[in-house]
Amino acid sequence: MHSFAGAALQTCEVRGAVVHELFYGPHASRGLHAHPATFVSFVAEGEYKEWVEGRELGYKPNTIVLHPAGEAHAHLFGPAGGRVLIIETTSSGLEHLSEYAAGRWSRKERRDGWVTQLCHRLLQQMQNNEPVARLAIEGLVLEILSELLREGNVNEAQPLWMKNTIDYLYANFAATIQLAEVARRAAVHPVHLARSFRSFQGCTLGQFIRLLRIRAACLKLTSTNSSITEIALDCGFFDHSHFCRVFRRQMGVSPGEFRRAQKKPCMSASESAREQAG
């Protein structure tokens, strides 16, 4: 039995951590509480608000948060509910990482970048019943924790031009984007933009755009009946085959396999929530 309020879709225990995929119904909430162990949350679907030390924070899809042990917080999900990946550390995990992580178990928030891709891969491996999947899950958990335990927070001291650049990319990811044009809009040299972008976001500009396209495609695959070709073109890929190659490389499965795997648990969770409400 986990200590989180959501309904468990999947749970997997590996060395140093217990990984949960949780479903939260519409307007699901929980008052002020704390967890005894450090954990990481990743918003796969939906949105929710959290209150920590008197601050109200909003989390959208692809937001990753490292929560230190004992942190008091409360949360409230939106009308669509949500699906959240939780990586709950265990005492053996803390011992395993103690030398590397000394003094770094402070609250951190990340959005997009390489660590987001790792979380999506972890969710995909959670649905893999092959024996080797447990080894893959353990490796991904360590990668995610190591990324989050790096010194600093990518959201700290971020210049205004970088925030404006991110907003521009979110609004135009499906279009053809050139580094020179992005640098011109940011009023910085292209070389400076490329170096700073990687420093703050943990990935290159091209990788970030590819990630936004994959994220949008994942949403369309699970929430619409559009054909894979239509989704490919809508999200900025050249054609069906280009989309399938990039998607498989990033997610480890084809778009069709992802659609079939992701729709089933979400549907059953929604039905379960309706039954509980009735």
Tell me the three state secondary structure of residue 272. Answer: helix
Residue 94 has pLDDT above 70, yes or no: no
The answer to the question of residue 154 being in a domain is no
Cβ 234 vs Cβ 174: under 8 Å: yes
Tell me what pLDDT residue 172 has: 93
As a whole number, mean pLDDT of residues 160-176 equals: 90
- The region of weakest confidence among 55-64, 189-198, 236-245 is 189-198
Do residues 209 and 109 both lie within one domain?
no
Output the CA–CA distances (angstroms, integers) from residue 95 to 2, 87, 127, 147, 264, in the order listed: 21, 16, 28, 18, 37
As a whole number, mean pLDDT of residues 152-171 equals: 76
Q: Give per-residue pLDDT as tens, 36-91.
A: 888 999 999 999 999 988 889 999 888 999 888 888 889 999 998 999 999 998 86
The answer to the question of residue 224 being in a domain is yes
CA distance 153 to 66: 11
As a whole number, mean pLDDT of residues 161-175 equals: 90
CA distance 42 to 85: 5
Do residues 248 and 188 both lie within one domain?
yes
Residue 184 has pLDDT above 50, yes or no: yes
**Nearest to 90, CA basis, from 3, 198, 13:** 13
Cβ 26 vs Cβ 77: under 8 Å: yes
Do residues 17 and 143 both lie within one domain?
yes
Residue with tokens 């809009």, as numbered in its chain: 185
Cβ 204 vs Cβ 245: under 8 Å: no
Compute how many other C-beta atoms are within 10 angstroms of the C-beta atom of residue 96. Answer: 17
- For residue 161 the two structure tokens come to 């031009």
The answer to the question of residue 276 being in a domain is no
Compute how many other C-beta atoms are within 10 angstroms of the C-beta atom of residue 206. Answer: 12
Report the CATH number that the domain containing residue 40 is assigned in CATH. 2.60.120.280
Q: Give per-residue pLDDT as tens, 119-128.
A: 888 888 888 7
Share the mean pLDDT of the chain. Answer: 81
- For residue 189 the two structure tokens come to 């040299």
| Secondary structure (DSSP) of 148-186 | HTSSS-TTTT--HHHHHHHHHHHHHTTS---HHHHHHHH
The answer to the question of residue 237 being in a domain is yes
Compute how many other C-beta atoms are within 10 angstroms of the C-beta atom of residue 266. Answer: 17
Alpha carbon 101 to chain centroid, angstroms: 21
As a whole number, mean pLDDT of residues 231-238 equals: 93
- Range(s) of the domain holding residue 173: 160-262
Report the CATH number that the domain containing residue 243 is assigned in CATH. 1.10.10.60
* Total domains in the fold of the chain: 2
Compute how many other C-beta atoms are within 10 angstroms of the C-beta atom of residue 260. Answer: 12
Compute how many other C-beta atoms are within 10 angstroms of the C-beta atom of residue 50. Answer: 17
As a whole number, mean pLDDT of residues 245-273 equals: 68
Tell me what pLDDT residue 266 has: 40
- For residue 251 the two structure tokens come to 């997610």
Query: What's the whole-model pTM score?
Result: 0.59
Backbone angles phi, psi at 128, to 5 degrees: -90, 120
Among candidate residues 148, 180, 197, the one where a domain is terminated = 148
Cβ 36 vs Cβ 70: under 8 Å: yes
Angle at Cα 199 formed by Cα 197 and Cα 200, nearest 5°? 70
The answer to the question of residue 201 being in a domain is yes
Angle at Cα 252 formed by Cα 47 and Cα 1, nearest 5°? 50
Backbone angles phi, psi at 30, to 5 degrees: -150, 135
Do residues 98 and 184 both lie within one domain?
no
Among candidate residues 101, 118, 148, the one where a domain is terminated = 148
Do residues 42 and 127 both lie within one domain?
yes
- The region of weakest confidence among 66-80, 150-164, 175-189 is 150-164
- The region of weakest confidence among 102-106, 118-122, 209-213, 265-269 is 265-269
Predicted confidence band of residue 250 (pLDDT cuts 50, 70, 90): confident
Residue 237 has pLDDT above 80, yes or no: yes
Compute how many other C-beta atoms are within 10 angstroms of the C-beta atom of residue 82. Answer: 23
